[in-house]
Amino acid sequence: MTTLQDTVRPRARPREWKAIIILILLVPVLWSPLILFRYVLFQPFNIPSGSMAPTLVVGDYVFAAKYAYGYGRYSFPFTPSFISGRVGAADPAYGDIVVFRSPKDNEIDYVKRVAGLPGDRIQMRHGQLFLNDIQVTRVALKDVAAGSACGGDTGTRVKRWRETMPNGVSYITYDCVDNGYADNTELYTVPPGHFFALGDNRDNSTDSRFKSVMGFVPMDNLIGKVTRIFWSLDAEGELRAERLGKVQ
């Protein structure tokens, strides 16, 4: 015969209740390092386009150091729109790869390189970058297969240049087309509190050269500095181990 006692779930013993309470109390403790890492120190991002090729390519996953330039409106999710300025503010340096929100579209994260700081004069002349009327040093490298970086036939070749900023930061740029649509620009003067963003894939990057879609970027729109590729997958989903490591 089934009794009432048979149909009632037995009560937890005092020792079991203690274990449950301890587990509940430990949840914030266990999660706090992850929260600290994700929202305060480093934020992961994936690269969806080839605008920063060859430095960053589609399939790369990077960490951005959020503390590098201070904390502002876009440092944390759900921050009210009336928040302005940055706590612990620091300006980026020439050549830094930064994550930011565009002043024209503050819902999308962008990754570009800092090419100009407040007061600088920036211009592209025949595909060459000029900073304050002085050509930024560049050295021609061997052409390589373009892959998908130039948006056309993957068998085509792309010109490469090693560019070196005045502070010594050096990196490689792609030049897909001679005298492309953004190889010759007007002279830009970076206003106070802003920076000039430029993609390493010069003929396939939406950046500060295009006023209608980006223009100068406010320092307050900075999210962090890209420091490391921690994961990278090719089109077949295979790990590209050779790409893992620090980024410059």
Cite the active site residues. 51, 112
Residue for token digits 């015969």? 1
Q: DSSP class of residue 71?
A: B
On whether the CB atoms of residues 232 and 61 are closer than 8 A, the answer is yes
Report CA torsion sign: 159, 235, 152, 52: negative
Q: DSSP class of residue 143?
A: E
Q: Is 105 exposed, middle or buried (0-12, 13-18, 19+ CB in 10 A)?
A: exposed
Pairing assessment for the beta strands 222-232 and 60-65 based on DSSP bridges: antiparallel
On whether the CB atoms of residues 66 and 88 are closer than 8 A, the answer is no
Closest CA to 180 of 209, 153, 156, 140: 209
Neighbours of 193 (CB within 10 A): 12
CA-CA distances (angstroms) from residue 161 to 21, 77, 112, 128, 225? 61, 38, 17, 10, 23
CA atoms of 99 and 64, how far apart (whole Å): 7
